[in-house]
Amino acid sequence: MVGRVGARRVDSLVFHSRPRLTDPGRVVGAKPAMFCRWVFELLGARAGDTFVDVFPGSGGVARAWEAYTEVLSDA
């Protein structure tokens, strides 16, 4: 995915890193869904774009992509 020219940019994200102790199936390095959404918005991602999760790990990024594009498709 390549960022689009003129896409809305938000250049900072405040996230306090801490262990997700409430998620027993967590994977070290898993990205929170809000982080993923911020990246998708930063890139100007749209429903119908191709997304390849090169390092699937927990699958959380792929699930965040599905949720993100689902919301875009409904709009």
DSSP secondary structure letters along 10-56? -----------TT-TT--TTPPPHHHHHHHHHHHT--TT-----SS-
pTM of the model: 0.63
Cα–Cα distance measured from residue 54 to residue 43, given in angstroms and rounded to the nearest whole number: 17
What pLDDT, on the 0 to 100 scale, is given for residue 57? 81
What pLDDT, on the 0 to 100 scale, is given for residue 64? 94
Say if residues 36 and 66 touch (Cβ distance below 8 Å): no
What pLDDT, on the 0 to 100 scale, is given for residue 22? 63
14 found inside a domain: no
67 found inside a domain: yes
pLDDT in tens, 19-74: 666 666 666 777 888 999 999 999 999 988 999 988 888 888 999 999 999 988 77
What is the domain count for the chain? Answer: 1
63 found inside a domain: yes
What pLDDT, on the 0 to 100 scale, is given for residue 56? 84
pLDDT in tens, 2-24: 566 666 666 666 666 666 666 66
Give the domain range for residue 37. Answer: 33-49+56-74
44 found inside a domain: yes
Say if residues 29 and 57 touch (Cβ distance below 8 Å): yes
CA–CA distance from 69 to each of 6, 12, 15, 17, 28 (Å)?
20, 22, 23, 26, 25
pLDDT greater at residue 62 or residue 75: 62
